[in-house]
Amino acid sequence: MAGIITLLTDFGTEDSYVGAMKGIILSLHPGVTIVDISHNVPPQDVTSGSFVLSHAAPFFPKGTVHMAVVDPGVGGKRKPILIETEKYFFVGPDNGIFDMALQREKVKQIILLTNKKYFLGYVSPTFHGRDKFAPVSAYLSLGVDPSLFGKRTQSINKLEFKQPPIHNGKITGQIIHIDRFGNLITNIDEGLLRRVFKNKAFQTEVGHIIIKKLVPSYAYAKDGDVACLIGGCGLLEIAVKNKSASKALMITRGTPVEVSARDKTL
C-alpha cells in the first residue's frame, strides 16, 4: 500500500467541494497523503479529465488510489466503479474517465460500488465525490479488499475517443488538449509517427497551416516560429515560441490535424 490518494475533478477551487472530500478522507485515514492532480478540468469535460489523469497517474508509486470525479451523470444511471490494475486502484464514475489511463495498465478486476457500508450514512444524489468515492478511496488506502465494495463486472463504458486513423500513409488526428502555455496537444503519439513514417520527414497540417519544422524542444525555435515537437507526454504538439499557439493560430480543441510524409529523410 502506498498510502496515497490522488484527486482529479472539475470542482474548481472556489467552492467547498474539494475540502469536504478531503475532510472525509482524513477522518477515515488520518495518515494518508492526498495529492491534487487537478480540480480545474473544464466543467463536465470527461475527455479532458481522462487525458490529464492519464499523463499524471503513471508516475505515482504502486498502490496509489487514483480518484477521479468528472461526473455529469451523477445521481442518474451511470455506475460508481473501482478498477484494480497491477499497479493502481481507480475510483469514480463509469463514464470513460479512466479510459486513457487504462491504456497503459493491466486490469485485474472491475467492481461495481454497491456496498453501502463504505459510503457516508446519507448519500446526496448530487455529490457522490464526497459521499461514495471519497470514503471508498479512503478505505482502499487502508487496505480494505476490493471485493468487499461490491460485485465484479466485466465491462466498463468507453470514451468516444478514437485512435487516429491512417489512410494512404496520412494520419488524421485532432487537438485533444490545449495546455496553459497555449500549446496544441494532439492525439498522435511518438510511437505511431515512427511506425508510419519511420525515418522519413513528415509535415503537419492544422487549420490550413502546414508546419514542416520539427524541433527537439521550444528552445530550438525562434521567437514567433510555429513548430512541431514531441511534448513531455510523448504526443505530437504544435507550439509557437514564446506565444500561445492556440491564440496565434486561432485553433481550438477538437480541430483536426493531418500528418503526412515529405519526400525527405529526417
Near its own copies in 136-155, by CB under 8 A: none
Strand partners of residue 256: 174
**Binding of residue 229 to its own copies (CB under 8 A):** yes
For its own copies, the closer of residues 12 and 143 by Cβ is 12
The least distance separating its own copies from the CB of residue 231, rounded to whole angstroms, comes to: 6
For its own copies, the closer of residues 180 and 208 by Cβ is 180
Task: Name the E strands within the chain.
Answer: 4-9, 33-38, 65-69, 80-85, 89-93, 107-112, 152-153, 166-167, 170-178, 184-189, 200-206, 209-211, 226-230, 235-240, 256-265
Q: Going residue by residue from 102 to 141, which x/- string records binding to its own copies, judged by CB under 8 A?
A: ----------------------xxxx--xx----------
For its own copies, the closer of residues 27 and 163 by Cβ is 27
**Binding of residue 169 to its own copies (CB under 8 A):** no
**Binding of residue 15 to its own copies (CB under 8 A):** yes
State which of residues 115, 153, 157, 181 lies at the interface with its own copies (CB under 8 A). Answer: 181
The least distance separating its own copies from the CB of residue 94, rounded to whole angstroms, comes to: 13
For its own copies, the closer of residues 125 and 165 by Cβ is 125
CA distances (Å), 244 to each of 96, 188, 201, 241, 249, in order? 29, 20, 25, 8, 8
For its own copies, the closer of residues 78 and 170 by Cβ is 78
Q: What is the footprint of its own copies within residues 61-100 (CB under 8 A)?
A: 61, 64, 72-78
**Binding of residue 207 to its own copies (CB under 8 A):** no
Taking residue 161's Cβ as centre, other Cβ atoms within 10 Å add up to: 15
**190 neighbors 117 (Cβ within 8 angstroms):** no
Alpha helices in the chain (DSSP H): 17-28, 46-56, 99-102, 128, 134-141, 190-197, 245-249
Any idea how long the chain is? 266
Which residues lie below 8 Å from residue 143, measured CB to CB, with a gap of 6+? 1
**Binding of residue 58 to its own copies (CB under 8 A):** yes
The least distance separating its own copies from the CB of residue 212, rounded to whole angstroms, comes to: 19
- Set of cell numbers at residue 122: 446519507
- d(CA 107, CA 101) in angstroms, rounded, equals 11
The secondary structure of 41-64 as a DSSP string is SPTT-HHHHHHHHHHHGGGSPTT-
**Binding of residue 197 to its own copies (CB under 8 A):** no
State which of residues 6, 141, 186, 255 lies at the interface with its own copies (CB under 8 A). Answer: 6
State which of residues 147, 163, 217, 252 lies at the interface with its own copies (CB under 8 A). Answer: 217
**Binding of residue 2 to its own copies (CB under 8 A):** yes
Q: Going residue by residue from 21 to 50, which x/- string records binding to its own copies, judged by CB under 8 A?
A: xxxx-xx--x--xxxxxxxxx-xx------
- d(CA 183, CA 248) in angstroms, rounded, equals 10
Strand partners of residue 173: 257
The least distance separating its own copies from the CB of residue 166, rounded to whole angstroms, comes to: 25
